[in-house]
């Protein structure tokens, strides 16, 4: 489980400090699919990086199964991130001189047994329809194929949670639907998913939607009350 406690993240800017996160608190339960929505610049990506141990908050805590991520020594925090958390980004972040196979394998901890690595690679190439592209470099792939490689790189470590930042922002509707299908499959297998988005794509898959505005988490709207029957 991931718990965010009173997260603040301030950046210095010429016009004054910017509060990218302003007292954000919530929890992610195991097996949950959560979407984070809000306009550009509202702090969604900062929140994801902070939850994933990649950007230290100005104040507040991130707990991963009770471990305060930013109180851990850097090597231990990096190890937790490398084994427990998978990341998927809008711009793929593939290594241009490595083929599909080696981009996927780059997501594994370095001490993974070669046989385990090969088994997981073969499974994901088949699951994500990338078998015929296994020896291609990223420059020879479509946007949808590159995002599937990035997703496979996140999945190959068999993480507990996937944090995805606008994973379908550069994709056509068919490829976007496939990415969400794979994320939903991961959740059904017991994984936890948090997706940052400003579009409606994630809503059908999400069990909960968090709204951010100007770095603050908005309260959940009250449940709708059906109208009383006419007397």
Q: Residues 122-179: pLDDT tens digits?
A: 999 999 999 999 999 999 999 999 999 999 999 999 999 999 999 988 888 888 889 9
Whether 222 has a pLDDT exceeding 50, the answer reads: no
| Between 39 and 73, residue with greater pLDDT | 73
Helices (H), the chain: 44-51, 74-84, 100-105, 114-127, 143-155, 173-188
CA-based torsion, 107, 111, 117, 120: positive or negative: negative
Confidence of residue 225 (pLDDT cuts 50, 70, 90): very low
Q: What is the mean pLDDT of the chain?
A: 89
Name the pTM for this structure.
Answer: 0.89
Q: Supply the CATH classification number for the domain 31-54+83-217.
A: 3.40.50.300
Task: Give the model's pLDDT for residue 12.
Answer: 81
């Amino acid at each position: 489980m991931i718990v965010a406690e009173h997260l603040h993240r301030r950046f210095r800017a010429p016009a004054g400090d910017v509060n990218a996160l302003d007292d954000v608190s919530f929890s992610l339960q195991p097996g949950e699919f959560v979407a984070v929505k809000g306009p550009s610049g509202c702090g969604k990506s900062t929140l994801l990086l902070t939850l994933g141990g990649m950007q230290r908050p100005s104040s507040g805590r991130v707990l991963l199964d009770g471990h305060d991520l930013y109180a851990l020594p850097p090597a231990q925090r990096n190890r937790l991130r490398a084994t427990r958390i998978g990341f998927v980004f809008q711009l793929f972040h593939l290594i241009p001189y490595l083929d599909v196979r080696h981009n996927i394998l780059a997501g594994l901890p370095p001490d993974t047994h070669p046989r385990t690595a090969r088994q997981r690679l073969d499974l994901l190439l088949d699951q994500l329809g990338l078998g015929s592209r296994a020896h291609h470099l990223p420059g020879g792939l479509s946007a949808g194929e590159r995002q599937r490689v990035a997703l496979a790189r996140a999945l190959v470590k068999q993480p507990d949670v996937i944090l995805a930042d606008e994973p379908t922002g550069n994709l056509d509707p068919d490829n976007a639907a496939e990415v969400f299908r794979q994320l939903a499959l991961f959740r059904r297998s017991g994984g936890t998913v948090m997706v940052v988005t400003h579009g409606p794509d994630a809503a059908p898959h999400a069990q909960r939607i968090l709204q951010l505005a100007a770095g603050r988490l908005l309260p959940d709207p009250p449940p709708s009350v059906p109208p009383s029957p006419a007397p």
